Amino acid sequence: MTVDELRRTIEEFLAAHDPATTERLEFLRARYDAGLAWVYFPPGHGGLGLSPARQLEVDRAFAAAGAPDNNPEGNGIGLGMAAPTILAYGTDEQKRRFLRPLWTGEEIWCQLFSEPGAGSDLANVSTRAVRDGEDWIVDGQKVWTSGAHLAQFAILLARTDTGVPKHRGMTYFLCDMTDAGVEVRPLRQITGEAEFNEVFLTGVRIPDAQRLGGEGEGWRVANTTLNTERVAIGGRASDRESGIVGVVTETWRAHPDRRTAELHDRLLRLWVDAEVGRITGMRLRQKLAQGRPGPEGAAMKLTFARVAQQLSGLELEILGEEGLRYSDWTMVRPDRVDFNARDAGYRYLRAKGNSIEGGTSEILRNIVAERILGLPPESRADKDRPWNEVAR
Amino acid sequence: MTELDLLYTDIEDDLRNVVRAVLAAHCDPGAVTALYDGDRSLVASLWKSVAVDLGLAGLLIPEDRGGAGASAREAAVVLEELGRFVAPVPFLTSAVVATTLLLGTDGPLLGQLAAGERTAALVTPFSTCAHGTFPTVSLGPDGLTGSITSVAGALEADVLMVPAEGPDGVAVYAVPADRAEITPVISLDMTRQLADITFDAVAGEQVVLHGESAVRRALEAGTALLASEQYGVARWCLDETVGYLKERRQFGRVVGGFQAIKHRLADLYTAVESANAAARYAAATLAADDADATVAAAVAQAFCGDLAVLAGEEAVQLHGGMGMTWEHPAHLYLKRAKADQIAFGTGGAHRSRLAELVDIPGPR
């Protein structure tokens, strides 16, 4: 599809569904059905089978027409992680059931991966799923679950075989968060708010039709999620000065009295790093248009985390006296993570999570070193030993 | 609005393979090292292979003027490979900078450059930033007079492009190299040896009337494309260091398996990949004559210059004692990287430029 054809398709859609008069949800559903949701998805599942590089044109055209968006920040895990994984491993039935309400935001998703004993060592999960006829019964505890209190569904990694080495005994499920056995407890964090949760799973019943991928294939499926997660975090399409760099640069412009040569140089260095990160993300997306995400997203996320942390720290220094204040320590449970909606102190503290969530920077460096550069792996005491025979 | 393509086309991949094969055959690290001891015999034969046999001297010159009619994107690929081999050829100075200066001109010189029959150099210090001031010689009734120091590409050139200050501002004159006094300078990077040049009332042919903007445009092309050379230098350093550390054993294990080392190499890889993207973007905007080309060139230089130096320094450090030896080629790359960091303006100069371009003003 040429640039002109795509533009015409969008124009025709907007002519038939005037954003000013069409009800929001109706508009979003129609956009999905027209294949203009994520244009790189296949026809029938919200897309047109185009390259991911085309998505930015589409989003810009809709934004320019004043169209409602699907609240992408409100369903980041659904859009960034669950959807690509369902697309890659789901049955036709699963894709039809889950992708449309996911994209429109009618169903919010969260991710039940990490556990108290399985964070960086994710393959060590001990939440059990035991077969019971056509269902699975799940018991265990998950942690660091963003948005669990808002989610209708979760992607879940659980152990289905304890007698094989850890990477081989896991299975991937789509879990209904409204099940009576799901208990969500807020976990207050460094910023004062509770964006994360602990999730306790007690006798949760999941139909086998909501298993994603084969039994015991959970690690492979989860890797698709993790790779797309890193790309989603580090390599999203954006304009110059999008995100934190734009916020800090605007702070700089707004405070001529706070400018010093030292702050100026640091800001320019980070501005360049952020801009190079943006261009690197653009190139990564062009590469990915030719195949599935590989470990390259790990490198992007390393850069993103470092630059976001340094920029948010610099912003407090630029603000000086104002940087000593904080908006609000009240414990709230936000319905979306929006760095830019709160003050610089919040951004500084929240950015500390950028090098932990979605794979710590230490683990990501191992991934880059081992899977891209081919350097020797870390020694693993539990390698090739059945999960139930390893001390933990 | 369509994004600029930052990947390599099949044609660019083919071009890279051809250039790499020629350099692998004719640009031995031992012969490159010999440049530091005064043996420049490699330069002329290698430049003939690159310029004439491969026809790369005319890469940026339109087909109707005898060139290949290619764009900055292809020139960038050539520079990546030249950087990877620290090749001592005047491609950047003649086929990019001097050629860009002459692109709008008539006369036979462009065709001669395209054919590789002649080689040109712009007479400005190699450290000149496209947006800063640059020295000129003076134009008197009896010709051009003055001295310009630290000029790159002059030792390989047979025609010099000389910016001269006359009554109507800066114009550029073509002067046969044998009319000037060219003194080689012992250079930090002998693979791109500099020269001091003195003109003593010499005659030249005016080739560009409004010289200032033409010189800046030529230097801007050099700035944008130097980033690809810097990426090539850095890529070699990374690849060579990773390869070495997969073999080298200490304390009974492969050194590249120590996590402290793995993490440094992962960080270096991340930065090298970023440099690749920044350099590709600079080349793509230049090729497309995109409005963002000036910002892209400054961003690429501010990033790739420092990164190539880091890669050179890491290569020396992680090769241990071997990295300090004359015998191992790592030093060739460190010297090239450090000189390239200063070429066409330092990172600081480009950041200052960006401060104006993207409205990040400094303290009053």
Is the sign of the CA dihedral B180, B183, B187, B191 positive or negative? positive
Show the tokens assigned to B173: 């004159």
- Which of A373, A378, A379, A380 is the best residue to mutate to test the B interface, defined by the most B CB atoms within 10 Å of its own CB? A373
Domain boundary, last residue among A220, A242, A260: A220
Residue in B254, B273, B362 closest to A261 by CB: B362
Check residue A378 and report its DSSP letter: P
Structural domain contains residue B297: yes
Q: How confident is the model at residue B1, as a pLDDT? A: 46
- Which of A249, A307, A365, A379 is the best residue to mutate to test the B interface, defined by the most B CB atoms within 10 Å of its own CB? A365
The residue of chain B with its CA nearest to that of A239 is B3
Domain boundary, last residue among B118, B138, B162: B118
Answer yes or no: do A276 and B262 touch at CB < 8 A. Answer: no
Answer yes or no: do A366 and B262 touch at CB < 8 A. Answer: yes
- What is the pLDDT averaged over residues B332-346? 98
Shared-domain flag, residues A149 and A281? no
Q: Write the CATH number for A301.
A: 1.20.140.10
Q: What does each C-alpha distance from A163 to A22, A108, A388, A389 come to in angstroms?
A: 55, 34, 6, 8
Residue in A286, A299, A378 closest to B6 by CB: A286
CA distance B357 to chain A (A): 12
Check residue A333 and report its DSSP letter: -
Q: How confident is the model at residue A336, as a pLDDT? A: 73
Distance CA A347, CA A125 (A): 31
Q: Which residues of chain B lie closer than 8 angstroms to A380, CB-CB?
A: none
Shared-domain flag, residues A363 and A237? yes
Distance CA B51, CA B338 (A): 26
Shared-domain flag, residues A292 and A161? no
Collapsing DSSP states into helix, strand and coil, what is residue B115? coil
Shared-domain flag, residues A135 and A238? no
Residue A94: which of A105, A82, A106 has the closest Cα? Answer: A82
pLDDT tens profile A232-272: 655 556 889 998 999 999 999 999 999 999 999 999 999 99
The segments of chain A whose pLDDT lies below 70 read 231-237, 292-293
Distance CA A383, CA A164 (A): 11
Q: Which of A229, A357, A378, A389 is catalytic?
A: A229
Show the tokens assigned to A66: 């004043």
Known catalytic membership, residue A229: yes
Shared-domain flag, residues B195 and B220? no
The residue of chain B with its CA nearest to that of A297 is B270
**Cβ neighbours of residue A314 under 8 Å, at least 6 residues apart?**
A248, A263, A266, A267, A270
State phi, psi for A110 to the nearest 5 degrees. Answer: -135, 180
Q: What is the percentage of chain B residues whose pLDDT exceeds 70? A: 99
Distance CA A369, CA B260 (A): 11
Q: How confident is the model at residue A237, as a pLDDT? A: 66
Q: Write the CATH number for A190.
A: 2.40.110.10
Residue in B246, B259, B275 closest to A378 by CB: B259
Domain boundary, last residue among B118, B142, B171: B118
**Cβ neighbours of residue B52 under 8 Å, at least 6 residues apart?**
B115, B116
pLDDT tens profile A183-223: 999 999 999 999 899 999 999 999 999 999 999 999 999 99
Distance CA A364, CA A302 (A): 7
CA distance A300 to chain B (A): 7
Helices B211-247 and B259-287: crossing angle in degrees, nearest 10, is 150
Shared-domain flag, residues B255 and B341? yes
Q: Write the CATH number for A48.
A: 1.10.540.10
The residue type of B93 is: T
Secondary structure element (H or E) that encloses residue B330, with its range = helix B330-342
Domain boundary, last residue among B97, B118, B139: B118
Q: Which residues of chain B lie closer than 8 angstroms to A271, CB-CB?
A: 354, 358, 360
> What is the extent of the structural domain holding A45?
3-104
Higher pLDDT, residue A73 or B31: B31
* Total domains, chain B: 3
Show the tokens assigned to A172: 């991937």
Asked if residues A174 and A98 have their Cβ atoms less than 8 Å apart, the reply is yes
Answer yes or no: do A283 and B267 touch at CB < 8 A. Answer: no
How far from the centroid of its chain's Cα atoms is residue B312's Cα?
16
Residue in B267, B276, B362 closest to A365 by CB: B267
Q: Which residues of chain A lie closer than 8 angstroms to B302, CB-CB?
A: 268-269, 272
Is ipTM over 0.85? yes
- Which of B1, B4, B5, B6 is the best residue to mutate to test the A interface, defined by the most A CB atoms within 10 Å of its own CB? B6
CA distance A269 to chain B (A): 7
How far from the centroid of its chain's Cα atoms is residue A13's Cα?
29
Shared-domain flag, residues B331 and B228? yes
For B150, other C-beta atoms within 10 Å of its C-beta total: 17
> What is the extent of the structural domain holding B112?
10-118
Q: Which residues of chain A lie closer than 8 angstroms to B7, CB-CB?
A: 283, 286-287
Residue in B254, B257, B269 closest to A372 by CB: B269
Cβ-based burial of A287 (10 A; exposed 0-12, middle 13-18, buried ≥19): middle
DSSP letter for each residue of A26-93: HHHHHHHHTT-SSTTSPTTTT--S--GGGHHHHHHHHHHTT-----GGGGHHIIIIIHHHHHHH--HH
Cβ-based burial of B36 (10 A; exposed 0-12, middle 13-18, buried ≥19): middle
Shared-domain flag, residues B83 and B193? no
Q: Write the CATH number for B339.
A: 1.20.140.10
Shared-domain flag, residues A230 and A369? yes
Q: Which residues of chain B lie closer than 8 angstroms to A252, CB-CB?
A: 360
Distance CA A293, CA B120 (A): 46
Shared-domain flag, residues A284 and A233? yes
